[in-house]
A and B are shown apart, each in its own frame.
Chain A
């Protein structure tokens, strides 16, 4: 009987959707589908696997009426590895240590320029287009890795949860469009490309850089860490000065 089958399937669904395994598996499957497309497209940055997986997962969550909290019970196991993976960035960085050391000055200057430019351009454009003050303050630290960006946003008087959204969106945009911008600008040096990706698009930009080239990945990881520090110190100071 079709009716019985449906009740049975519903029972299975209720059982599965209460288990973290379902959403963990969905996360891995959606990402791997994204990676498959990404590879088929010759690692074209526009076919970003994170974006693909996110769109698929949001579609599934909406279609099944699943809350993000329920989803995260499964996805948290993946999310958790973000911390250890960040620590592991020390290995590619160590492998490029000689390059980092010989371009220390270039790194310091690029960091200051990139960090300042990221905040001022985002806040300036949002202001010029008539965004509210809370939004303008929330967008300031958008290029900084999420945890630090939320702290900066709070100090400025922004909305930390909005900043988290803007940070992730920036990462995906940067990973997808950054390589094209670097091509157009004629930036061919791998260290410079990586450093730019880490400064402008934090961890998600670093992940893309690492997929393409190890030198780029190492410099991206370095830039991500340094930009968090630089923006956290400079942006609140600059804002306090600007307000006087």
Chain B
């Protein structure tokens, strides 16, 4: 199990180093994700222990945003006099973005899948 935790850390480390060296506008961990994904494609299967380790990390993914979330409440004063404009913009834009993206993706996927049976 520890070997796969090390592998995950290693992927992140390589990702961080790659981003630092190339200036690519993606976070190091996302490059690490791509790297691990490539490794899985190469291997052709998910090792059972890797599945266990990643499952444990992902089971509580939203917990990991709590420290950063607490930080924003402390810095809310940064909004200053633009508070109302920003709140409206955030709410409307975020909700609309999610709806629009979902609709576009669903319409295109349905078109692409036409003729195939829906496997659910």
Contacts and interface: CB of A to CB of B under 8 A. Distances in A.
- Classify chain A's interface size: 35 or more
A204 B63 CA distance: 9
B108 A109 contact: yes
A103 B105 CA distance: 9
Nearest to A130: B85
Given A83-B12, A197-B98, 4 more contacts: A57-B66, A58-B74, A139-B90, A189-B106
Interface in B13-47: 15-16, 25-30, 32-37, 39-41, 46
A185 B99 contact: yes
A162 B12 contact: no
Contact of B100 (A75, A114, A130, A201): A114
Contacts of B33: 86-90, 93, 221, 225
Interface in B46-71: 46, 50-51, 53-55, 57-58, 60-71
- Top 10 closest A-B pairs, CB basis? A232-B25, A114-B101, A196-B102, A129-B85, A106-B108, A88-B54, A75-B67, A86-B29, A207-B62, A187-B102
B101 A113 contact: yes
Interface string A157-181: 0010110111011111111011001
Interface string A114-126: 1001100111011
Interface of A: 27-28, 30-31, 49-51, 53-55, 57-58, 61, 68, 71-72, 75-76, 78-79, 81-95, 97, 102-103, 105-107, 109-110, 113-114, 117-118, 121-123, 125-126, 129-132, 135, 139, 142-143, 145-148, 151-152, 159, 161-162, 164-166, 168-175, 177-178, 181-182, 184-189, 191-193, 195-197, 199-201, 203-208, 210-211, 217, 221, 223-225, 228-229, 232-233
Q: Label chain A's interface by main secondary structure.
A: helix
B86 A131 contact: yes
B92 to A, nearest CB: 6
A90 B34 contact: yes
Contacts, number: 335
Contact of A118 (B36, B97, B109): B97
Give chain B's interface residue range (CB within 8 Å of chain A): 35 or more
Contacts of B40: 90-91, 94
Interface in B78-104: 78-82, 84-86, 88-104
A171 B71 CA distance: 14
B71 A72 contact: yes
Given A83-B12, A151-B25, A31 B63 contact: yes
